[in-house]
Structures are given as C-alpha cells and as structure tokens.
Chains A and B, each alone.
Chain A
Amino acid sequence: MDLLPVVIFLQSILAATWRMATPILYAAVGEIFSERAGVLNIGLEGVMLIGAFAGYSVAYESGNLILGLLAAIASGILSGLIFSFFTITVKANQIVVGAAYNMIGMGITGVLYRVFYAESGRALSLKTFAPIEIPFLSQIPFLGEVLFKHNIMVYATLLLVPLATFVLYKTAFGLSIRSVGEHPKAADTVGINVNRTRYFAVIIATTLAAIGGAFLVLAYADQFVEGIVTGRGFIALAVVVFGGWSPWGAMGASLLFGIFYALQLRLQAMGNIMIPYQFLQALPYVVTVLVLIGLTKRRVQAPKALGVPYK
C-alpha cells in the first residue's frame, strides 16, 4: 500500500492543529487567571468577538496589523473593566453578566460590521500575519511543516504558556490570585485587596480573550464575518476545566481540540464523504469533551470561591 497520501493527510492536519488551538488557548489561559481569582466569565465569546472586530477594523483602516492588535488589546481591557465593574463592584451575578456580554458582543459587532463593511462595497480582506519559516528547521520533512511554518501569533503561545505559569506560581501577584479565588477572607486578613486583585485577573483574562479573537481576523481568516468566533469562547471555558486550571493543561486540551478541528476541516474539504457537514462541524467539540472526560482521572477541584462575590 502506498503510505504517502496518508502521511500528507496527517501532515496537513497536524500543521493546522496548533493554529486551530491558538485562539482557544489565548482565551483559556486568560480565563485561568480570572477563575483562579474566583471570577467566572462566561462572556468570553462576546469579549473575543469585540476583540476580533476592533482588531479587524483598526487593522483594515490603518493597514497596520500591530495597530489592529493594540486595538484588540484596548477592547479587551475595556471589556474587563465593564465586566469587573458589574460582577465585582456591583456584585451582580457573574453568569447573568457574562451571558449579557455575549449578546452585547454579538449585537454590537454585527451592527457595526453591517453598517461599515458588509454593504460598503469595499474589498474587505486584509493582509494577515505571514508565516515565518524558521531557517533549517522548517526544511525537516513532516516536522518542518507541522511545527516551523507558523505566524507570530501562533509562536507567541510558546511564550504565553510558560509566562502565565510563571506569573501564577512564582510571583506574589500569582499567589494573591490563587488565594483570592480559594479563600478570599484569608487573603483579606493578611492585607490583600481582594477586589482589586480580581479586577486585575479579569482584565488579564479579557485582554487575552480579545487577542484570541483578533487572531481570527489578523492571523487566520483575513476578514471579519458576523459571529466569527463560533463558540470558541465556550470551548475555552471547557478547556480551562479539563486543563485543571493550569496553563499547560489548557495547552494540552486546546491542542486536542485543534487536531479534531483540523481533521473535520480536511474531511469537509474532501467532499466525497457521505457525512452531513453539520456532524463534521460538531466533531471537534464532541470528541474533545469525550476524550477529556476519559483522560481526566483525578478531578481537579475548581477554586472554592469561584463565582462568589466578596463582601
């Protein structure tokens, strides 16, 4: 039997895996900060959408991808402030605020997109971050294609995960975050400002989620479409749980999702498969959940104070 088509098929899937995992990984790593501090933000989807739109419109109008990325970051900070204000200062229910934020994100970006872009008759695509081929390494057969021909935002996750781990486990700030989500009163009695710590954690979360959203327009697809995030914000929430609230765990879980996402895209593209495409689209979501349920033997406990406002 000829092995070559199989290898090529595998190569194409694995090459796409990391890229597919990237937006989810940004959002999930951010959400880990927020949840570790005790704030559950189910509004990630909305935050990502707004980040995607901000990134797209600024990059498109200015022709500068970096400016687009900065705009996404600014939108993330703003989202974080809004979410924190309602959940931490006003102490509104986190689920309700998160759900509302998803709807707002959907609505606002939808309207703005239609008004300014969809019917403008302009050419809407922009030039995305180009893949960077790592000298020599990218020439390795198979591995070169899979690992060493990605764009900067994909490579950046290699920095993001260890950095997040370092901040969470090796800095005073990280220690405060972990304490505040577990036993806020204890943190309070040693002089930690619980609510301020939570504000920072939420802003980190929404900023990373917005970057994840911007990835979709600046480094993946080359334009915005309504609802472009397609549930990745929710998958990120699941990835946080399956990853046991740790950045490396989240990386594993999002790569797993990435593999199946890439697989279903390939299968759809092949076109001669007799499976309705809706089933294929559901595949990565279903399989990720099933595999992770199977893999997660010892259930890691959620932070004790998750979802509970302080005082």
Chain B
Amino acid sequence: MEDIIIRMVNIVKSFPGVQANRGVNLEVRRGEIHCLLGENGAGKTVLMSILYGLYKPDAGEIYYNGEKVEIRNPKDAINRRIGMVHQHFMLVPTITVAENIILGQYPSWKVLNDMPAVYEKIEKLSKDFDLDVDPSALVQDLSVGEQQRVEILKALYHGADLLILDEPTAVLTPQESEHLLGFLRQLADRGLTIVFITHKLEEVMQVSDRVTILRDGKAIATLNTKDTNPRELARLMVGRDVLMDLKKKEGQPGNVVFSVRNLRVTDERGLLAVKGVSLEVREREIVGIAGVSGNGQSELALALAGLIDCEFDEITLNSTPITKKDFARLNHMGMAHIPEDRQKMGLILPFSVSENFIAETYRDEPFSKRGFLQFRTINDYSKSLVEKFSIRCGDVEEEIANLSGGNQQKVVVARELDRRPKFLLVNQPTRGIDIGATEFVRQQILAERDAGAAILLISTDLEEIFALSDRILVMFEGKIMGEVPPDYSLIEQVGLMMAGKSAVHA
C-alpha cells in the first residue's frame, strides 16, 4: 500500500471577494497525526471541507491512496473512509445518538428495524475506544465534550481510516483537551490517520508527527514536529517574528476616571454573583481582574456596561455620579465596552462589516443626516478602519458572519477604540482568536492606555492579565480577594487567591 494516504495538489478555492485557498499542496502519510496549523482565516477549514466533499475546488487535484479521485459530496468522502469532525458539530439535537450515527447511511425506503444491532455496534465501539457514549441519549441532553465523542464515534462507525478534526479543543476544558489529545494518539497507534486542525502551538508540539503551516491560503511549509519549535512555528504561521512579550512602558496613572463602590449583582438564577465590589480606574492605567471563569466577572462586566440590573452605593465617571437612568447613555458619556462574547453581544452577525462599525453611531452626524444614512461617508469610514486595524475581509459590505473570529474581534475593537473612550471596559478580548490577532488586539489596548484611557480588563487568561495590567485585582466568588502588582514572580500567589485564599503578604 501507498505510504501517502492523501495528496492534495494545487488546490484553489475562491469565495466572492476572498481567495481561501490559493494553490495548496498537502501530503498526509498513513498512520500519522498531521497538524494543519494556521491563523484564523488561513484556509484550513476550507481545505479540509474540500477533502470532505463539502466544497468543490476551483482547481487542483486530490490523490487518495495514490489514485486520482474526485470527491463530489460528503457521501463520496464517507465511502472512501474519510471522516470529519466539524468545528461546529454536525449533530441533530432532537434525535438520539444512534439515529445521528446511522443518519444518511440507508436508502430512504429502509425500515429502521435493526436498531438493536446498531445499538450493539455503537456500544462495542464505545467500549473499544473508551468513549463512553450512550446510543439512546438525545444529543441535546449531552455536554459539548460528549457531543464531540459522538462525532468521533460517528466517523469510526462509518469506518473512517482518515479522521479530520477541525479545532476540536476550542470547545473543551483544559482537562478534556488533554484527554482528547491522548485519545488521538491511541487512534494513530491503531493505524488511523489523523488530520488535526489547530492554531495552538502547544497542541502541535504535543500531539503531532508532522505539521503543515497554512498562511493566507497557501501551505508555507511542512515540518517534522520533532525538528521544530514553537517560535519557528509562530513565525511561519504569522509571517514575521511574533512579540511573545509585549513592550509595555511604565504606566503613569493620572486622575480617577471611573469608580464604583459596593456593587451588587444577582445572576439569572437569582443568586448574588457580585458581592459588593469596589474599585477605581485612573487615567493611563489598566486594571486587570483575574479569576477563574464563573466567579462573577461576567455579571460585573454586564452591570458596569449597564446591560443588567444591579445595586450600588456610588458610580462615578469623570467625577460625575452615574444613576441607573444614565446607563442607557453610557456610551455617549465616554465609555466603551468590548464584550465577552463578540458573536452574541459585540456584533450583529447577519449585518455587514460597515453596518457593524456604525452600530452605535449610525444616528449621529456624519453617518446620518436628516434621518438618511450617508452611505459614502459610512463606506469611506469603514474602509479606513479596515485598513487601520488590518481586518481581513472581502470588502466592507461583506456579512460579518463570514469573517474569522480574529477578524470579527478586530471589528469590535476598532469600533470601540475609534470612539476614543475615556473609560474602556474590556472582557476576554482575545478569547478564541489566533496569536497574530491576539498580539494586535493587546497592542491596541496598550496604545489606548498610553493615549490616556482608563481601562478595566477582565480576563481568565493569567498571561494576558500579567502582560497588560498595571494593577491586578483577583476575583473569587463575587468578591475582590486582593490587589497584586503585575510581577511575574507573584503568579503563584495570584493562583492561590483565584482559588479563594486571601492575599498573604510575605
């Protein structure tokens, strides 16, 4: 048998306004774990969707076991024993695990009278691979991790010997990710070939035999993992040296811009999620709030942004006391908010890039005059922002849903920062985006501080907190446990505070 299971030659694929793949070459060896590394928007998903028959390439050839093939639809792919676990799961929530697994496998007129045998086969596979999948469960009742196991089992059930996984760890907790990587290694040891899409360098180093780096729709290089290192991978992926440590000037805090005393917020279950938080943020200062996710940070951010109800003794912005009535106008009072979930809160997904840019200001001059939108102004303005923030999109009329996560986040950041806020509330600014975009967003936040803004940064990423903050507050169970300077030698202490131990001063 051929040593190379898949060879993709000169694959080209364009969408209106975007060249997703521009002549990609890829070779995958039988039995290896092959990482496909690249920033968001590099073309990884599109390339693998072509292999799986979801898209038809504009040009290029695919060889499977040395034989030239045309994969016209997913059925072709499944018949050739190619399986794919998509980034957004392809499971029907309202039917059972077993029904999802046999979906599409029988001719229409088939009566489903062999379900006991199907159950048995699923249970056997599940046991064999230690996947712990219950065939009779409804998919909608399963956790994200369980659904992913169902997806993997579905591919195995269909007899896959090439398994593609598209950013499988993005939805998992660190422990689950660890477990998954171990599991993939097991699969490879049993002879399966695995293509693993990711933008996380550590995962590449940890799990793969070889890695192909994709950038701007081109395959830049294929390397043996043991002959490379994260720094080289990062450089290949981004196309230049990445400043893993940001240059941060000493902060020069000025007057207090924003302060809150004794903030109390109840969450949607009616429990007190923020239990009397007081803090202040000064000009030219970034105050970081560290903490394990779910300790009241989301509620804190939503309350400060005026999006959910809360109680407080006093809030001031630029020395003006704020009442609840002012909440609706906060963004006209010099405050900007980069929310935690760009897709649910930061953006209107079916709208275009430019419509999202003016989402808060469309009623104001110069974007609107006498009730009419000024399209030329809006267009020029949007183009200038796209350029300034190097946002990768077809054009400013493109639907924002089509952009990669990193580029979507840049749109939010561009919109909020361009209003030159006095006070900036930032929640999880780089979650789920690639290192290039991460670096860019962090630099923008720092630049904003240096330009005078007061910034409250909430993040569960300690690295980010230490890299950006001038002061660090640690939040645990709705309370501020204490304050720490951003000195890396204190990272352990911060970790303890995040787990609920009060600050101990050495």
Contacts and interface: CB of A to CB of B under 8 A. Distances in A.
A183 B90 contact: yes
Contacts of A192: 103-104
Nearest to A174: B112
B112 A172 contact: yes
Interface stretch (B92-100, B346-354, B470-478): B92-100
B109 interface: yes
Interface in B100-119: 100, 102-113
A170 B115 CA distance: 10
Contacts of A175: 95, 99, 102-103, 112
Interface stretch (B10-18, B71-79, B292-300): B71-79
Contacts of B106: 172
Nearest to B104: A190
B466 to A, nearest CB: 41
Contact of A189 (B74, B93, B105, B109): B74
Contact of A186 (B90, B107, B108, B109): B90
B102 to A, nearest CB: 8
A19 interface: no
A266 interface: no
A189 B78 CA distance: 9
Contacts of B89: 186
B310 interface: no
B75 A191 contact: yes
A187 B102 CA distance: 11
B136 to A, nearest CB: 14
A222 interface: no
B223 interface: no
A178 interface: yes
B92 A191 contact: no
B54 interface: yes
A176 B110 CA distance: 11
A182 B454 CA distance: 46
A170 B111 contact: yes
Contacts of B75: 190-191
A304 B140 CA distance: 13
A228 B84 CA distance: 53
A19 B375 CA distance: 61
Nearest to B77: A191
Nearest to B99: A175
A89 interface: no
B94 A190 contact: no
Contact of A190 (B74, B95, B112): B74
A176 B90 contact: no
Contact of B103 (A170, A171, A185, A190): A190
Interface residues of A, number: 20
Contacts of A191: 73-75, 78, 104
A190 B90 contact: yes
Contacts of A179: 92, 95, 103
Interface in A161-198: 170-173, 175-176, 178-179, 182-183, 185-192
A30 B436 CA distance: 53
B78 A190 contact: yes
- Secondary structure dominating the interface of B: loop
B275 interface: no
Contacts of B93: 182-183, 304
B86 A187 contact: no
A173 B109 contact: yes
Contacts of A189: 52, 54, 74, 84, 86, 90
Consensus secondary structure, chain A interface: helix
B91 interface: yes
A80 B105 CA distance: 27
A171 B110 contact: yes
Interface centre among B54, B91, B94, B109 (most CB of A within 10 A): B94
A188 B103 CA distance: 10
B182 to A, nearest CB: 26
A19 B300 CA distance: 61
Q: Which of A182, A187, A190 has the most CB of B within 10 A?
A: A190
Contacts of B84: 189
A173 B86 contact: no
B104 A187 contact: yes
Contact of A178 (B92, B105, B113): B92
A202 to B, nearest CB: 15
A187 B92 contact: yes
B105 to A, nearest CB: 7
Contacts of B78: 190-191
Interface string A269-311: 0000000000000000000000000000000010010000000
B243 to A, nearest CB: 39
B103 A176 contact: yes
A185 B104 CA distance: 12
Contacts of A171: 108-112
Contacts of A172: 102, 105-112
Given A171-B109, A171-B110, A176 B92 contact: no
- Most B CB contacts (10 A, CB to CB) among A173, A176, A189, A192 go to A189
Nearest to B113: A170
A185 B94 contact: no
A36 to B, nearest CB: 10
B169 to A, nearest CB: 20
A286 to B, nearest CB: 32
B91 A173 contact: no
A190 B95 CA distance: 15
A173 B92 contact: no
Nearest to B73: A191
Contacts of A188: 54, 74
B410 to A, nearest CB: 27
25 contacts: A170-B111, A170-B112, A170-B113, A171-B108, A171-B111, A171-B112, A172-B102, A172-B105, A172-B108, A173-B108, A175-B102, A175-B103, A179-B92, A179-B95, A185-B90, A186-B89, A187-B92, A187-B104, A189-B84, A189-B90, A190-B90, A190-B104, A190-B105, A192-B103, A301-B94
Interface of A: 170-173, 175-176, 178-179, 182-183, 185-192, 301, 304
Given A171-B108, A190-B74, 14 more contacts: A171-B110, A172-B107, A173-B109, A175-B99, A182-B92, A183-B93, A187-B92, A189-B52, A189-B86, A190-B75, A191-B75, A191-B104, A301-B94, A304-B93
- Interchain residue pairs A-B with the least CB separation, the first 7: A191-B75, A190-B104, A186-B90, A172-B106, A173-B108, A172-B110, A191-B104
